[in-house]
Amino acid sequence: MSKLYLLRHFQSQWNKENRFTGWIDVPLSKEGKAQVKEVAKKIADIKLDSIYTSPLNRNQNSVLRILEEIGLKYPIFIHLEGKMKEWGRFIELNKEYFPVFVSEKLNERYYGKLQGLNKEEMMKKYGKEKVQLWRRSFSVRPPGGESLKDTLARVAPFYANYIKKDLKEGKTILVVASGNSLRALVKYVEKVSDEEITKYEIPPATLIQYQLDKDLKLQYKKVL
């Protein structure tokens, strides 16, 4: 059986301020940093083979803080695209280093013109129903941004090309990413309907465990 863990990053400063964040690269909040110890306790006894994350600071910082807390050997961040892939190549990866694979395919949903704006203020301006549609619907895009369907269109191929290969080898994988990129991954792994995914929430610091059979069919799920 292969095991897949999904972790939404710890609370960011803009989660705290109730802003649309998207691809804006904001840090963790003070409260987010305090969440590390509790999540690390849940991960400490898991024998991870590798981690996948995105280049966003809140995701990579969550990874670093977890690894530091559980005392795992130090990580090498291996970028899977762009100049960081070409020029940051490190071919001597061995058991002294822990591999963390980085791809912007795992970035948060792009919120377009809403990025940086307060959610409550947008509800007053456009109405609660419209803003909720932008935030949680499957196919409706926020102004100038991505829908969850668009996000799934980049997350699903990434999962198929990278994570699936590891899982088929029986590896235990942790994905540390953002709320909507993880919602897309949950939809793909669990085969959640377009309707049901609109009701699915993943708060910051949430850790989900999946157990998959040799054909990568879902056998077990638990929110830890």
Q: What is the dihedral of CA 217, 218, 219, 223, to 10 degrees?
A: 160
Q: Which residue has the tokens 């050997």?
A: 73
Is residue 108 among the annotated active site residues? Answer: yes
Q: How far is the CA of 104 from the CAs of 27, 53, 88, 149, in angstroms?
A: 17, 8, 16, 16
- Residue entry with tokens 């059986």: 1
Reply yes or no on whether 9 is catalytic: yes
Quote the Cα angle for 22-100-64, to 5°.
70
Q: Which of 108, 146, 190, 201 is catalytic?
A: 108
Burial group, residue 76, by CB count within 10 angstroms (0-12, 13-18, 19+): middle
What is the DSSP secondary structure assignment for residue 90, as one 8-state letter?
-
Catalytic residue, candidates 9, 38, 92, 190: 9
Catalytic (active-site) positions: 9, 108
